[in-house]
Structure 1
């Protein structure tokens, strides 16, 4: 006798809940059809293999790739981890774990996180680089950001770009940095060109763009760069991890004179 259409006919037959609703319980244990009977696009998964959870297709592409997107989206909205946790009905520790380490999400957590970040599941889990040529957004909006919002993004970051006038050309290079006491601090080699500057003009830029979501933001700082004092060097040197390696013991300070930012939205 055939089962009603609202029942799964696989080996773990049970009622199927409406996947558009987020379970109210903290565990979200009843998340839809059994693994053998889920459609290939269930909750945005594009690959179905026996024994894999829906989120395996995300985490298999690189450790914490989705976690990085969640963290950047939270920062772009100016939210603390505790605020996202409250919105999603999760603990702060769980949000921090998702953002910083490889993880596996339940379907309920994915739905709740997408809602907490003002996104759909497809927008949250979609590819950063679209497979098809990008289409022109229907109504993109370019918004200026307040200085306070720019500072929140600078404080949360660790990698930016500095730009200055070299001998024959403009030089733009990435740097690891820290924001401390309204100053931007970075380390460089003692024999580098920028290490010779003392109250010279410099620009600092920080950005994040998502081609999949077709949105992003950029922050520009104009100011002067100078060598750090002994006290500033002592307070910040151990807190800046330089990816480039080598001997980079000279700390430089950017004194911001003007901080501006822009955000583009197309959703």
Structure 2
């Protein structure tokens, strides 16, 4: 109500009329249903893009990246100068702790799913694996993405958003 009054006063000062924007139509209530790890990884494999979360200079950093799921691992391609690539190399065989999130949620119905994978991210060092992943996983930017990283999940969680009455 307050916003409408401010708009009306502003429009009156400007000598114009200002119709309130139509409120977006919000579908009925939804509920979140927990996914088991296998179902979450299956869904993750159906989308090409997600967000990697890691620590950079003691602060969280988030980057969009494309991925594939292979034998339960999440595989990414990055470029040599990427902070995550450097941190993963510095960590050696131990790897660096990351979270990876992807989702598919319809903006109109607000139904869909969201998956989070948490685990250690390490460089893929086997030349045959690297070559295979480079053919399977095409970069989505014009950067030269020659580095291949693998996340071995320690924790896989997810939710599916469904109608509350269904």
Q: TM-score, normalised by structure 2?
A: 0.75
Q: CA RMSD in A?
A: 1.7
Gaps of 5+ in 2: 1-21
CA distance in structure 2 between the partners assigned to 1:256 and 1:210 by the alignment: 26
Residue 204, structure 1, aligned to residue 100, structure 2 = yes
Match for residue 133 of structure 1 among 15, 21, 24: 24
Match of 1:263 in 2: 160
Residue 142, structure 1, aligned to residue 32, structure 2 = yes
Match for residue 66 of structure 2 among 170, 176, 179: 176
Residues 130-179 of structure 1 deviation map (CA, whole Å, 9 limit, x = unaligned): x7424373x42211011121111122221111000111521111111111
Match of 1:121 in 2: none
Gaps of 5+ in 1: 1-130
Match of 1:84 in 2: none
Residues 100-144 of structure 1 deviation map (CA, whole Å, 9 limit, x = unaligned): xxxxxxxxxxxxxxxxxxxxxxxxxxxxxxx7424373x422110
Greater CA radius of gyration, 1 or 2? 1
Match of 2:83 in 1: 193
Match of 1:235 in 2: 132
1:209 positional shift? 1.2
Q: SS state of the match for residue 39, structure 2?
A: helix
1:242 positional shift? 0.9
Q: SS state of the match for residue 156, structure 1?
A: coil
CA distance in structure 1 between the partners assigned to 2:151 and 2:114 by the alignment: 18
Residues 70-112 of structure 1 deviation map (CA, whole Å, 9 limit, x = unaligned): xxxxxxxxxxxxxxxxxxxxxxxxxxxxxxxxxxxxxxxxxxx
Cα gap change, 1:168 to 1:257, in 2 (>3 Å)? closer
Contact 2:44 / 2:103 at 8 angstroms: preserved in 1? Answer: no
Q: SS state of the match for residue 134, structure 2?
A: helix
CA distance in structure 2 between the partners assigned to 1:178 and 1:152 by the alignment: 11
Match for residue 47 of structure 2 among 136, 154, 157: 157
Q: TM-score, normalised by structure 1?
A: 0.48
Q: SS state of the match for residue 61, structure 2?
A: strand
Q: Which has the higher strand share?
A: 2
CA distance in structure 2 between the partners assigned to 1:226 and 1:245 by the alignment: 23
Structure showing greater relative contact order (alpha-carbon pairs closer than 8 Å, 6 or more residues apart): 2
